[in-house]
Structure 1
Amino acid sequence: MLNLLAISGSLRAASTNSALVAALARNAPAGCRVTVHDGLGRLPIFNPDDEGERTPREAAELIDAVTGADGIIVSCPEYAHGVPGGLKNALDWLVSRDAAIAKPAMLAHASPRSLFARAALAEIMRTMSFALYEDAMLEIALLGKKPPEFDGILTEPVNVLAMRNALTAFADFIASR
Structure 2
Amino acid sequence: MIELLAISGSLRAASTNSALLAALAANAPSDCRLAVYDGLGLLPIFNPDDEGERTPREAARLIGAVTSADGIIVSCPEYAHGVPGGLKNALDWLVSRDAAVGKPAMLVHASARSLYARAALAEIMQTMSFALCEETFEIALLGKKPAEVETILGEDANRQAMRDAVQGFVDFIRGR
TM-score (norm 2): 0.99
Match of 2:114 in 1: 114
SS of the residue 2:149 aligns to = helix
Match of 2:132 in 1: 132
Give 1:74 shift.
0.1
Consecutive unaligned residues of structure 2, counting only runs of 5 or more, are: none
Give 1:159 shift.
0.9
Give 1:147 shift.
1.0
Match of 2:173 in 1: 174
**Distance in 2 between the 1:159 and 1:121 partners?**
25
Match of 1:161 in 2: 160
Query: Map of 1:4-153 to 2, 5 A cutoff?
Result: 4-134=4-134, 136-153=135-152
**Distance in 2 between the 1:26 and 1:14 partners?**
17
Q: Which moved more, 1:42-51 or 1:159-168?
A: 159-168
Give 4+ residue runs of structure 1 displaced > 4 Å after superposition. none
Matching residue's letter, 1:154? L
Q: CA RMSD in A?
A: 0.5
Give 1:169 shift.
0.7
Give 1:83 shift.
0.1
Identical counterparts, % of pairs:
78
SS of the residue 1:65 aligns to = helix
Matching residue's letter, 2:67? T
How far does the alpha carbon of each residue in 1:61-86 deviate from its partner, in whole angstroms, 9 at most, with x for none?
A: 00000000000000000000000000
Aligned residues: 176
SS of the residue 2:140 aligns to = coil
**Distance in 1 between the 2:94 and 2:148 partners?**
34
How far does the alpha carbon of each residue in 1:18-56 deviate from its partner, in whole angstroms, 9 at most, with x for none?
A: 000000110001101100001000000000000000000
